[in-house]
Amino acid sequence: MRTLVTVLLLILAINVVLAQSAKPNPPNPTWTEADRQFLLHNLIRSRDELLAATKDLTPEQWNFKQSPDRWSISQNVEHLCLWELIHMNDISVSLQIGPFPDFTQYQADELFANGPKSEKKNITTDYTKPFTYSVPLGNNEGKDNVTWFLKMRNESIDYLKSETKNLRVHYIHFGANIHQQYMMIYGHNFRHLRQIAEIKTHPDYPR
């Protein structure tokens, strides 16, 4: 009997937890000035760190690969450009569709907060199946990839400095909101900065 009671109490506790987790969030979350400054700080910092990491590289350094199946520094920057373009298109479409202030099943920022810290290696085509559009071709010169990256990043920074819309009620396919999409952008940037640093520590990297 005692075992049965214990099991019933455990089931009740699980149901309470599930009910709480399924409870809708309050409608109309607010995008604050602190949110704006948080995004600007991380977008600017990750941009500036990329500029510092790629400053004055020789063609040999730009194109060095740790192995034939790994990307060069130039390809890492090109890949950042490709994904930045994809994210910016999502943000543009979301703004054109308009806000959804009554949507209550939005995600917490914590789900998007580990980008800069995550050490897990990802395979980019896992996110683009059956296509490979996020794989860099490696045909651009490294400095041209930086120019491309800067154009898009600076447009985002300028946009966020003056935006007055509530970016927390503009959603990307009812997943991330625009604030969280920008969290993914700078997190992705930091991830590839670590890859660039790893390339530079290779014993065969040109000095």
What digits encode the pLDDT tens for the residues 125-154? Answer: 888 899 998 999 999 999 999 999 999 999
What pTM does this model have? Answer: 0.84
Q: Is the pLDDT of residue 200 over 80?
A: yes
pLDDT (average), residues 94-101: 98
Query: Could you give the CA distance from residue 115 to residue 86 in angstroms, rounded to a whole number?
Result: 17
Alpha-carbon torsion angle 43, 45, 49, 55, nearest 10: 80
C-alpha 80/C-alpha 50 separation (Å) is 10
Residue 94 half-sphere exposure, CB side, CA atoms within 13 Å?
26
Q: What are 42's two structure tokens? A: 């991380």
Decide if pLDDT at 14 tops 90: no
Give me the DSSP letters along 38-91.
Answer: HHHHHHHHHHHHHHHHTTT--HHHHH--SSTTS--HHHHHHHHHHHHHHHHHHH
Mean predicted confidence (pLDDT) in 81-101: 97
Fold of the 2-200 domain? Four Helix Bundle (Hemerythrin (Met), subunit A) (1.20.120)
Contact 161, 40 (CB under 8 A): yes
Average pLDDT over residues 51-80: 97
Model confidence at 85: pLDDT above 90:
yes
Q: Is the CB of residue 43 less than 8 Å from the CB of residue 187?
A: no
CA–CA separation, 132 and 129 (whole Å): 7
Query: Percent of the chain having pLDDT more than 70?
Result: 85
Give the Cα separation of 184 and 179 in Å (integer). Answer: 9
pLDDT class for 120, splitting at 50, 70, 90?
low
- Say if residue 44's pLDDT is above 70: yes
Dihedral over Cα of 77, 79, 81, 87: its sign = negative
